[in-house]
Chains A and B, each alone.
Chain A
Amino acid sequence: MTAVVQAENLGFRYGDEPVFSRVDFSLAPGDFAAVIGANGAGKSTLLRLMLGELAPAAGSIRLFGCEARRFRDWPKVGFLPQSAPTAGENFPATAEEIVMANLFASIGLLRFPRPKHKARVREALRLVDMGKYSKRLISRLSGGQRQRVMLAQVLVAEPEFLLLDEPTTGVDEAAAAALFALLTRLNRETGLTVMMATHDTERAAAHVSRVLCLENGSLLELDKAQLDEELRHKHKHPAPVLELIS
């Protein structure tokens, strides 16, 4: 079976500054993986390499067996950027119009949406629990609601692989919990392969099947014991400044 993503000896650098090197991993269909790591560790860079927006400095990264830079079957891949909660903040479009935009591949160039496309849009909005807001301007929605609309926009194209960049940034606790619950359900019920870059290690550990940690320029897959250690480490916060002063 072809891997959804396959990275071999992957390395990347911004100018002379190396970000990571010798990264090897693969995702099989149906995997639900989280990439964790500190700020600047290269999580978003790894996602951009998968999207073919950056060229590897070394090694290769393949999507569905094809070099990411040469990959053309993009409707198979859904991407939810970090900016999703602020997407369309000042854009005069309804949730429905925004979701419909991503049906481009299904509708076709220079063609117009048909009733079946409108039904798919309604279904995608219902799936993320935004059905009743379909006619609402995106600028009138909260950050969490906007993120759900953007997720519906990604899901409406029925991707086989879903990539998310820091999906819990800029949304409240309830919205983050609902998002993880939805992703888990989609992964279990439809076999959707999911990979996310996240800081939310605790929540990721409770939902995903694999955790990959980017640290010191290399990628390591964490087993249960390592993950527990990571969670304990994350909770060893330094004493508050006031406490230290007193």
Chain B
Amino acid sequence: MAVLQYDFMRRALIVGVLLAVIIPCVGVIVVLKRLSMIGDALSHSSLAGVAAGLIMGVNPILGAGAACMAAALAIEAVRKKIPRYSEMSIAVVMSAGIGLAGVLSGFVRGGANFNSFLFGSIVAISNFEMYLVIFVSAAVLIAFVLLYKELFFIALDERAARIAGVPVGAVNFIFTLLTAVTVSVAARAVGALIVSSMMVVPVACAMQLSRSYKQTVVFSVAFAVVFTLFGLAFSYYARLKPGATIVLAGVLCLVVIIGGKRIWEKLSERQRRPYENEDA
């Protein structure tokens, strides 16, 4: 465990594992609500907040958080106006976010800090940022556990949830805020361009293997933690970007699972056939 002798690697490990726990919790609901692109829209919008923060001399993570929340609320507002084409709201907000980030980035002095938000810099996390991640993770996790059945019902059938008395508007609003703060803290660590993959890939892997909703949540978190640990270790030794390595490990795992599942299904089908013939 020579890799953990450095402070920056220990901080990276703590932040990485905490994010690996909370991002898939949000990701499960995002995927099941068919809003997978929301992570992209929020993370791209967060870049506008990062640029604004750097220009005004405010911590860029706080700027990213404010931009993410504004973007998330805008998505909800547009989604309510055009419910039949709700995915359009994501495209509209993402375009506005990218546009604003592009314009504001032109006014940022020394682009290195801004660029570090594109692919993340988990090993360059400061103590303040680590404490922020710990606080946000605790808040997201508590909210997710307390709203577990409400979020499940809304993701399954929003109309039925409303009829059953679930305060759909309030729960959706809280979830939107949770998504926004998760994306804004994750953008610093794994990168704005990668955070949405972290939201979707572990969930996609879990959905291939799970046999219940609860399993999907547990497996998603487990996959994300494994990808993070592997990605951090591998990127350290191979001198790669950690955020990108974590996501690539996830995508590779998903390909292996899908391929393995197909082979397994074919083999089981072949094993079943002789008995079917005997019956015939």
Spell out A's residues near B (CB within 8 Å): 51, 53, 74-75, 77, 79, 81, 87-88, 91-94, 97-98, 100-102, 104-105, 107, 109-110, 112-113, 135, 137, 153, 157
B163 contacts A97, C-beta separation under 8 Å: no
Judge if B214 is at the interface, Cβ distance under 8 Å. Answer: yes
B164 adjacent to A157 (CB under 8 Å)? yes
CA distance A102 to B214 in the complex (A): 17
Nearest CB of A to B179, in Å: 19
B153-180 vs A, CB cutoff 8 Å, 1 = contact: the mask equals 1011101111111110000000000000
Would you call A110 and B156 a contact (CB within 8 A)?
Answer: no
Instruction: Give 7 pairs: A residue, B residue, CB < 8 Å, sorted on A.
Output: A81-B160, A87-B157, A91-B156, A97-B213, A101-B153, A101-B160, A135-B211
- What is the CB-to-nearest-CB distance from B178 to chain A, in angstroms, rounded to a whole number? 15
**B8, CB-defined interface residue at 8 Å:** no
Residues on B facing A (Cβ under 8 Å): 32, 146-150, 152-153, 155-157, 159-167, 206-207, 210-216
Residues on the B chain within 8 Å of A79, using CB: 160, 163
Given the interface contacts A92-B212, A94-B213, does A75 sit within 8 Å of B152 by beta carbon?
no
Closest-CB distance, A89 to chain B (whole angstroms) = 11
Residues in B neighbouring A100, C-beta threshold 8 A: 149
In the complex, the 9 A-B pairs of residues with the closest C-beta atoms, listed nearest first = A93-B213, A101-B153, A92-B216, A94-B212, A104-B164, A110-B146, A105-B165, A74-B163, A97-B213
Known: A91-B156, A101-B153. A137 touches B212 (CB 8 A): yes
Chain B: which residue is nearest A96 at the CB level?
B212
Decide: B164 and A137 in contact? CB cutoff 8 A.
no
Q: Which of B161, B207, B210 contacts A104 (CB under 8 A)?
A: B161
Inter-chain contacts of A75 with B (CB < 8 A)? 164-165
Least CB separation from B219: chain A residue: A92
Taking the closest CB of chain B, its distance from the CB of A140, in whole angstroms, is 9
Give the distance to chain A from B109, nearest Cβ to Cβ, in Å.
47
The CA of A74 and the CA of B99, in the complex, are separated in Å by 45
Q: How far is B163's CA from A77's CA once the two chains are assembled, in angstroms?
A: 8
Most chain B CB within 10 A, of A79, A98, A100, A101, is at: A101
How many angstroms between the C-alpha atoms of A53 and B150 in the bound complex? Answer: 21
Indicate if the CB atoms of B152 and A97 lie closer than 8 Å. Answer: yes
Chain B residues with Cβ under 8 A from A94's Cβ?
211-213
Q: Which residue of B lies closest to A153 (CB)?
A: B160
Are B150's CB and A104's CB within 8 A?
yes
Residues in A with CB closer than 8 Å to B160 are 79, 81, 101-102, 153
Closest-CB distance, A217 to chain B (whole angstroms)? 26
CB of B213 within 8 A of CB of A104, answer no
The CA-CA distance from A73 to B157 in the complex, in Å, is 19
Alpha-carbon gap, A87 to B158, bound state (A)? 12
Instruction: Determine whether the beta carbon of A101 is less than 8 Å from that of B207.
Output: no
Q: Which residue of A lies closest to B157 (CB)?
A: A87
